[in-house]
Amino acid sequence: MTRLVLKFGGTSVANLDRIRASALHVKREVDAGHEVAVVVSAMAGKTNELVAWCRDASPLHDAREYDAVVASGEQVTAGLMALTLQHMGINARSWQGWQVPILTSDQHGSARVEALNGQHLIARLKERREVAVIAGFQGLHKETGRITTLGRGGSDTSAVVIAAAIGAERCDIYTDVDGVYTTDPRVVAKARRMERVAFEEMLEMASLGAKVLQVRSVEAAMVHKVKVFVRSSFDDPVASASSGTLICAEEDIMEQQVVTGIAFSRDEAQITLRGVVDKPGVAAAIFGPLADAAINVDMIIQVVSDDTTTTDMTFTVPTADFERAKTILESAKSAIVYATLHGTNDVVKVSAIGIGMRSHAGVAARAFRALADKGINIRAITTSEIKFSVLIDAAYTELAVRTLHTLYGLDQA
């Protein structure tokens, strides 16, 4: 007998009709004899509505009360899903995060899961043949007894950690797409759905712009070795087999392509400090205040002047933090000592990912030549063992993605 976790995202439970359709996927697995736990998100758009209410009630709101409000969306969905399953003749009950309990840190709005004992859930699955419908996204800080939330997209993380805690064979993530593609199909018509993707590749894709899975959920899956199957809730719920993409360990993939996928992120802004006095501690003077303000810095390039007395420092930050980062650096100008500050948010980061890069030389160099042949200027470059990223002008986003997708043979079926 197989134990499964099925997670349904917001579009899969957007209304009662969608909840009924998703419940049919649950029924299929129950009828097949599997022990099933279900994790649900809030209905599509509901979390945004709840967040807006919090901000309207108090612009500088208490994060603890914010969590109490926004966690309610998943509570509603869990109850409705349990009711729907019961109406279908399936033994089911809803669970809130604090009832499991999913114990977390006290960082309200972006808490991290610290402990989850799955024995109680396992007992209910085995002894009562009861489907557990669990509200995703939420947990409990034990010491304060307060509800916490795991950050946007946190229901994916809830599903993976629950799968690990109950020893599930697989965690199925139901969404509105039928798997992970080589790139965004809206940009490249020839983008292909991948059958399997390694944990490390998916982690890079998620962090570099792919929106299919939350980054932390992939991290948890990799740490706990939980196989994740991304599939569509809009597929025929009666069919026992469904198309999708399996996220798994590298050793579970027979043959690796050099490049698996192309990701891109428009959430980038570039800042350049020119004429920075080149002295020990200058990097700390620049990036320390940004870190203190919880601003994430990504690509960093330093160019020392010919006389070695000054340097130019270029780096990227999230678009939402662009103006705040500039203000912080301008206020710290006397401590940093630089001549001018320039910035733009009209840039995009394009990345190529593939664990096959480990054993192939010149992968990035081919991309640089192909982009140059298309007249695309590269502003910055970063590399790691299994990916490289380039920062380019936003106007060339689609051309760059299509060029790289074709260059590495991803157009071919």
All domains of the chain, ordered by start, with CATH? 3-176 (3.40.1160.10), 269-344 (3.30.70.260)
Angle subtended by helix axes 63-70 and 46-57, to nearest 10: 150
- Residue 140 pLDDT: 96
Torsion of CA 404, 184, 215, 58, to 10 degrees: 130
- Residue 253 pLDDT: 85
**CB contact at 8 A, 31 and 24:** no
Closest Cα partner for 171 from 96, 109, 68, 245?
A: 245
Phi, psi of 233 (to 5 degrees): -75, -10
CA distance 349 to 340: 24
Closest Cα partner for 221 from 151, 296, 168, 153?
A: 168
Closest Cα partner for 41 from 17, 19, 66?
A: 19
- Residue 413 pLDDT: 59
- Residue 207 pLDDT: 84
- Residue 240 pLDDT: 61
- Residue 241 pLDDT: 66
pTM: 0.87
| Three-class SS state of 351 | strand
- Residue 195 pLDDT: 92
Sign of CA dihedral 6, 12, 13, 19: negative
- Residue 179 pLDDT: 92
Weakly modelled stretches of the chain, pLDDT under 50: none
- Residue 407 pLDDT: 96
